[in-house]
């Protein structure tokens, strides 16, 4: 019964979101809207723009899939390579992916739907393949703990200049940015890589990303997002992000040129939606000068997206989608906990 009800509510949410969808933009240099076509990708939970292969985005499923990464061509939405990770244990709850210096891919097996039941989590690191084809790549596994105890997290990001790894925990009341050691240690012993809170994040965060130059930080939630100046590791909030309405907004990455923020969602045939990055490109910034950060704040401080303002009918539809989305997330959490 719970599954049947969840299916009906999810279907309604998909219909409403589809009714509001705008036409797909032409993909140029990997910063246009595209749909992930691979039927194997049903829970795209992380997204990272390749710098080695322009127009390619790496993604992965949330859970119950295996040690796989998928390279998706944004020009077609098709998978051009599936990478199988070896040298690691069985993935538990993979939630995030990021690319660091030297085109090293970092994968965050950091989720915990039971809110802190795992004493440690894992990060996997592997070199990005120079040739895109189905292949097996050996990864390094890192055991991660938190200085203030276990927690759920869905956001992992690697600074593009220093290579330092950060995690943002997922908490309905807001979480924290956790900083890892200067260098991760490949040891099976818990306590080798302790992450410590360094700044509050006033958001129920589902993903985050650094800009390619490492000067900005974008954090997204289901219905909102926050833009920060990195400020040498002392983040300063600069405004809110234009986060699109999606079925289950789980991922964000900057485009390789830093002009766009690319927002992904879970679900079969999910769309990746671009929005102007704050301060990036020739268009105006999508972040506001005020520092509001509520999940319910919508897509931006001005009430506008890159496609223009919303009239009364559109506002009503947006409210409907938000209500349905909230119901879907609540039901999914209920089903998972039971």
Whichever domain contains 236, its CATH number is 2.120.10.30
Q: Residue 31: what pLDDT?
A: 85
Residues 186 and 331 in one domain: no
**pLDDT tens digits for range 65-108:** 899 999 999 999 999 999 999 999 999 999 999 999 999 999 99
Q: What angle do CA 82, 87, 90 make, to 5 degrees?
A: 75
Which residues are within 8 A (CB) of 5 and not within 5 positions of it... i.e. 6 or more apart?
331
Residues 257 and 333 in one domain: no
Residue 143 lies in a domain: yes
Residue 316 lies in a domain: yes
Distance of alpha carbon 187 from alpha carbon 184, whole angstroms = 9
More confident residue, 193 or 188: 193
Residue 146 lies in a domain: yes
The two structure tokens encoding residue 116: 């802190």
**pLDDT tens digits for range 197-213:** 999 999 999 999 999 99
- Range(s) of the domain holding residue 12: 1-22+310-338
Residues 134 and 191 in one domain: yes
Distance of alpha carbon 260 from alpha carbon 274, whole angstroms = 6
Residue 55 lies in a domain: yes
Distances from the Cα of 221 to the Cαs of 39, 151, 162, 167, 185, in angstroms?
A: 25, 17, 26, 14, 30
Pairing of strands 271-276, 34-35: antiparallel
Distance of alpha carbon 101 from alpha carbon 160, whole angstroms = 5
Residues 295 and 322 in one domain: no
Task: Count the domains in the chain.
Answer: 2
Residues 178 and 39 in one domain: yes
Residue 27 lies in a domain: no
Residues 327 and 248 in one domain: no
192, pLDDT greater than 70: yes
Residue 125 lies in a domain: yes
The DSSP 8-state label assigned to residue 313 in this structure reads H
More confident residue, 243 or 301: 243
Residues 298 and 159 in one domain: yes
Residues 241 and 300 in one domain: yes
Residue 118 lies in a domain: yes
Residues 190 and 244 in one domain: yes
Residues 234 and 318 in one domain: no
Tell me the pLDDT band of 117, cut-offs 50, 70 and 90: confident
Q: Residue 29: what pLDDT?
A: 65
Residues 15 and 153 in one domain: no
* Residue pointed to by tokens 């499923």: 61
CA dihedral 45→50→54→60, nearest 10 degrees, is -30
Residue 90 lies in a domain: yes
pTM: 0.78
Residues 155 and 10 in one domain: no
């Amino acid at each position: 019964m719970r599954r049947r009800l969840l299916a009906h509510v999810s279907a309604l949410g998909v219909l409403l979101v589809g009714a509001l969808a705008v036409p797909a933009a032409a993909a140029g240099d990997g910063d246009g809207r595209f749909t992930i076509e691979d039927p194997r990708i049903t829970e795209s939970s992380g997204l990272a723009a390749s710098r080695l292969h322009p127009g390619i985005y790496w993604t992965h499923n949330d859970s119950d899939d295996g040690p796989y990464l998928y390279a998706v061509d944004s020009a077609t939405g098709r998978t051009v390579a599936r990478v199988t990770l070896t040298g690691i244990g069985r993935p538990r709850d993979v939630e995030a992916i990021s690319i660091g210096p030297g085109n090293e891919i970092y994968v965050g097996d950091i989720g915990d739907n039971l809110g802190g039941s795992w004493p440690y989590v894992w990060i996997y690191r592997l070199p990005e393949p120079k040739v895109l084809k189905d292949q097996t790549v050996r990864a390094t596994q890192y055991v991660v703990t938190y200085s203030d105890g276990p927690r759920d997290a869905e956001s992992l990001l690697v600074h593009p200049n220093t290579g330092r790894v950060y995690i943002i925990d997922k908490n309905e009341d807001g979480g924290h940015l956790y900083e890892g050691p200067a260098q991760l240690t490949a040891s099976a012993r818990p306590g080798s890589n302790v992450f410590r809170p360094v700044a509050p994040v006033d958001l129920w965060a589902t993903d985050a990303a650094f800009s390619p130059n490492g000067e900005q930080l974008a954090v997204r939630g289901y219905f909102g997002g926050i833009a920060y100046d990195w400020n040498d590791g002392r983040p300063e909030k600069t405004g809110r992000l234009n986060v699109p309405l999606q079925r289950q907004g789980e991922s964000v990455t900057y485009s390789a040129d830093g002009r766009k923020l690319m927002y992904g969602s879970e679900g079969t045939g999910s769309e990746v939606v671009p929005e102007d990055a704050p301060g990036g490109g020739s268009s105006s910034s999508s972040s506001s000068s005020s520092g509001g950060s509520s999940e319910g704040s919508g897509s931006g401080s001005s009430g506008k997206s890159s496609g223009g303002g919303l009239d009364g009918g559109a506002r009503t539809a947006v409210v409907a989608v938000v209500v349905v989305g909230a119901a879907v997330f609540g039901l999914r959490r209920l089903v998972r906990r039971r």
